[in-house]
Amino acid sequence: MSYLAIARKYRPGTFDEIVGQEHVTRTLRNAIARGRVHHAFLFTGARGVGKTTAARALAKSLNCERGPTAEPCGECVSCVEIAAGRNPDLIEIDGASNNSVDDIRDLCDNVQYAPQRGGSKIYLIDEVHMLSKGAFNALLKTLEEPPPHVVFIFATTEPNKIPDTILSRVQRFDFKRIPEQGVIKRLARIAESEGSGISEHGLRLIARSGEGSMRDSESLLDQVISFAGVDVSDQEVADILGLVDRRLLHDMLAGLVSGDAGKCLDVVATVYEYGYDLGQFTSELLEVVRNATFLRLSPASHQHIDLPAEEAVVLEEIVKDVNPEVLTRVFSALMAVIDDLARAGRPRLVLEMAVARLATIRPVQPVGALVERLQTIQRDLRVAGHIGPTAGLRGGASRQSWSDAAVISEAAKVAAPAAGSAPMMRASLPKKPWAFIAAELHPNTAWMKEAETRRAGDVLVLSMSNAKLQADIRRLAQTEEFQDVFRRAYGPKTTLEVTLTPRIKDPEEAALRKSALENPQLRTIIDTLGARVIKVRPTETGEDS
């Protein structure tokens, strides 16, 4: 006798045996009990969640010798034949290979014939979305007014591809992905029946790999038992399924949130040496980051996490002092990495550079903290007598001033480094380092002085409105001579970023901006926070303001 796969051997035969789809089975049971069975159903959902199984259970309920009944006997000729897949009154059609107009016309011609065994003739069309447009049109009339003994059941993973004219003629049931705990319980019963000893953790690994599909999970269980036999260790389960050791995932998360690039790179090396798929590793890491984020958000978000208690404790310890915003940034960056890994010829290099970038990125402060910091600077300057409620520009254009409140509101839009890490210019540097660079590189470099400079951490940002000037400076910045002078002016850790800003056509606006940027109090804010001036506008003040 040929071997029968677990997914077929333990296929549910009744509504009660279907796991995780109570909203569907309860409605169908009530419809049968009250004699309100519709003539056409649409079962939608991911693969392996019970669509075809529910269709066969419905067919069994309708054609059981005791029926129609929500509790088919499972022993009569109809029940036995439906379970074996050879009942003449249950016609199963693959929509992918029988999708032409002629196929559907043949079906419509045959619906007139009465059932041979039970009271209903049931047409189950799987992957119905694969039917051609002409085939759908050929089905419309029969679907709208079928003979009283005919029931149509359509199953699909892509309901969005089904015409509205079909959708309006069916009762739709959306099947959900099966909860992990429900899959684990069923796998445990099957493993016990097969005489195989697998721990709950091992079953959880299988269920997690099945991603809410009972059929996929049962197939994986079949694979594990075939490989390992009666006694299966958790490590064997992980090895068979190609899963990454959870400790590596936790170490990677810890390295990312603590800024430990070395630790992250060690994990990548280990994952690579063990032969794990780097795309799969990153995908599992995404799930870990997601769970860690929910653990930090609020107690209410914990209900959306399906984790063993011991793993939840480990994750909580790793991220207990981490802002959820940091975790969401890590998640977004990893999402982009997955796409890059799929296309990369050398995925290890891609992942290494991605985690190195994530681990070394500067922490950010919430906007509220940034505004509070700016307001503190403003209060200190007022106490020192340097600025008033609307600070003027001493030596600037007459009757025109910039508003410190406007500067604060605009500067708050720029991300600032964490408290205590604000960059400061070294006292030994020239007063105008960029002018110093220009003079040392070439005596005729007045054009370089057009660039507006600001500090943002370890980055010197040059802004200019001349696109050609921007391109020239970028080319010059690549030369060894420039790099040598730049390092002497700004230090070895500082890097250069060249940006293009809109040209200011209004001479008065340009003069006002120049005056504002020369104000020592504004320069303090810019240099301390790495901020930039977005817009400068005059305020209605007296001449002496």
d(CA 271, CA 265): 10
Lowest mean pLDDT among 61-75, 92-106, 173-187, 454-468: 454-468
Give residues with Cβ within 8 angstroms of 509, minimum separation 6. 536
Helices (H) then strands (E): counts for the chain: 24, 10
Residues in the chain, overall count: 545
Supply the pLDDT for residue 21. Answer: 92
- Long-range CB pairs of 87-91, under 8 A, 24+ apart, other chains included: 87/59, 87/63, 87/117, 88/115, 88/116, 88/117, 89/59, 89/63, 89/115, 89/116, 89/117, 89/118, 89/120, 89/121, 89/122, 90/56, 90/59, 90/63, 90/122, 90/124, 91/121, 91/122, 91/123, 91/124
Lowest mean pLDDT among 74-78, 254-258, 368-372, 457-461: 368-372
Q: Which residues pair with 152 in a beta bridge?
A: 40, 123
What's the token pair of residue 396? 């600037």
> How do residues 125-184 score in pLDDT, each as one tens digit?
999 999 999 999 999 988 988 899 999 999 999 999 999 999 999 999 999 999 888 999
Question: Phi first, then psi: what are they for 493, rounded to 5°?
Answer: -90, -15
The domains located in the chain, with CATH, are: 6-174 (3.40.50.300), 180-241 (1.10.8.60), 246-360 (1.20.272.10), 369-529 (no CATH)
Supply the pLDDT for residue 341. Answer: 83
- Taking alpha carbons only, the member of 214, 55, 216 closest to residue 127 is 55
Model confidence at 401: pLDDT above 80: no
What 8-state DSSP symbol labels residue 417? B
> What percent of the chain is modeled with pLDDT above 90?
21
Q: What is the mean pLDDT of the chain?
A: 78
d(CA 63, CA 170): 21
pLDDT band at 60 (very low <50, low <70, confident <90, very high): very high
> How do residues 277-312 score in pLDDT, each as one tens digit?
888 888 889 989 998 888 888 777 777 777 777 788
> How do residues 89-130 score in pLDDT, each as one tens digit?
999 999 888 888 988 998 888 888 888 878 899 999 999 999
Model confidence at 228: pLDDT above 70: yes
Which is more confident, 509 or 257? 257
Greatest mean pLDDT among 63-67, 359-363, 376-380, 504-508 lies in: 63-67
pTM higher than 0.75, yes or no?
no
Q: What is the CA radius of gyration of the chain?
A: 34
Burial state string for 475-486 with b = 16 or more CB within 10 A and e = fewer than 16: ebeeeeebeebb
